[in-house]
Amino acid sequence: MAVAQENINDVLKAMKAGVTLYKYMSSRRIRPRRFYLHEYEGYISYDQSQKICGGPTIYHIIDIRGIIPGLQGQKFNELVRQGIAREEQKACAFSIIYGDNRRAVHLMAPDNTIQELWIRGLRYLMKKYKNKNQGDLIQEENWILQFFHGADKDKSNTLTKQECQALLMNTLNVEMPDSVFEQMFKKVHGTSEGALSPEEFVNFFQLLTRRKDLYDIMLNYVKNGTKPDIDNIHLNKLELLSFIQQNKYENLKHIENENQIQNMINKYEINTAFRDKGLISLDGFRNMLLSQTFNIIDLSKINNVYQDMTRYENITNRYVTTISSVRIIRMNKIKTSLIYNSTNSLHCRLLLSNQKTSYQGSQLYDRALSFGCKAIDFDCYDGLDEPIIKHADTLGNSYSFEAVLRNITPDLFKISP
């Protein structure tokens, strides 16, 4: 285990040093970009190009949905036909699928060794972040600072008001009145002018994540007759036990005494002095409610596919072929087979725009499955060297049937969102 950890540390170190990867552009060209992993391991990005407008995209690890080796189908074939890439370079390429809409960035490494290094490193980081809950992340200073450095466009190691507000709106999805923002900015910075340092931004973020609704809940269980402010509120062991017993949490029926409560405080309270006194603060209370113990969703029931497989004669035969089209039936989280249920299928580009001009690509079918579509239709034709998918009477290009199948295979048996 120690050897494996030392090896992955070497991988991450190499990723932080950076390497030139060739990025597939929308103009059907590839451009060299020096990609690197940020020192806090929260995102990957690349050095600024010579473009006057725009800047490099930041790909947060927590937003990456998958890594696909190789550059399949139409995109790579176009590069080969134009003499931009060679057939043997396919083994050096990989795609990063990211965001809720499962967008893709296609990259080509100088050699297969670098490709495997980046794929391994990214998959390790994805697994690392997947195993952390929200309560863990918002307490990690490095995780908070990755947003700070991502928003620091001029690399001044400070955030102006404009940069901070853009970060809140575009990345953290936080909307607040200007008056509230000014009040919080002044509280952590001391004045209403200037820019936030990294330490001040951490304080700003912690102030931002302080939950007024949880403060109101805690007030209902404070028994000493006082009304502490949001900075000083806490619950003792008896008060926390009362909260758990009155709310009848299914996973906490076994909690009956103060010793068990103390164990919970030790687990969720980050303030050592509070832990030693058997008290839980607002931050500790929030961490507790964000933990898996208090999650109303049983992850063991949604991380695996649950369905009645006894009604299938051959479960491997999941491709149903008709004369002019192919329909992929996706197994869903239901008790009986979809064969016994009526279901509508969609040409998935209609999920995003109109039939004539909307963007088409092999990733769109995977995106349709991620949106919960139970079945998707392919219009298949004979291509030059292989079957292709093309929707007649549209402005979209054709693309490889094999590439689509390869892209959707990992998600065919995942449950719907």
Q: Can you tell me the distance from the alpha carbon of 160 to that of 113, in angstroms, rounded to the nearest whole number?
A: 41
Question: What tokens does 4 get?
Answer: 């494996």
User: Does the domain spanning 2-132 belong to CATH 3.60.20.10?
Assistant: no
Cα–Cα distance measured from residue 265 to residue 260, given in angstroms and rounded to the nearest whole number = 9
Domain 2-132 matches domain 137-208 at the CATH topology level? no
- Consecutive H or E run containing 64: strand 64-69
pTM of the predicted structure, to 2 decimals: 0.51
- Mind listing the pLDDT tens digit for each residue in 64-90? 888 888 766 566 677 777 777 777 777
149 contacts 167 by C-beta, under 8 angstroms? no
- Residue of 383, 413, 372 lying closest to 102 (CA atoms): 372
Instruction: Enumerate the H helices of 2-66 as residue ranges.
Output: 2-17
CB-CB contact of 232 with 272 (8 Å): no
* Nearest to 360, CA basis, from 384, 375, 376, 382: 376
Half-sphere exposure of 324 (CA within 13 A, CB side): 3
Domain ranges of the chain: 2-132, 137-208, 214-290, 319-411
Residue 321 is predicted with a pLDDT of 35
Evaluate whether 365 touches 376 at the Cβ level (below 8 Å).
Answer: yes
pLDDT in tens, the chain (417 residues): 444 555 898 999 999 999 999 888 765 677 889 999 988 888 898 887 665 555 677 888 888 888 888 766 566 677 777 777 777 777 788 989 887 667 888 888 999 999 999 999 999 998 887 766 665 666 667 778 878 887 887 778 898 888 898 888 887 778 888 888 898 899 888 888 889 998 998 888 888 878 888 889 999 888 877 788 888 889 999 999 889 888 877 777 788 888 888 998 998 888 889 999 999 998 888 888 888 788 777 666 665 555 544 544 443 333 333 333 444 444 333 333 333 333 344 444 444 555 555 555 666 777 777 766 767 777 788 777 788 887 666 666 777 888 888 878 877 776 655
- Is CATH 3.40.50.620 correct for 137-208? no
Q: Decide: helix, strand or coil at residue 406.
A: helix
CATH architecture of the domain with residue range 214-290: Orthogonal Bundle (1.10)
DSSP state of 157: S
- SS3 label, residue 337: coil
Phi/psi-derived region of residue 120, left when phi > 0, alpha when psi is between -120 and 50, beta in every other case: alpha
The pLDDT score that the predictor gives to residue 122 is 95
The per-residue pLDDT for 50 is: 60
AA identity, residue 358: S
Question: How many whole angstroms separate alpha carbon 318 and alpha carbon 339?
Answer: 10
* pLDDT tens-place string over residues 190-225: 888 889 998 998 888 888 878 888 889 999 888 877
Q: What is the Cβ-side half-sphere exposure of residue 63, based on CA atoms within 13 angstroms? A: 18
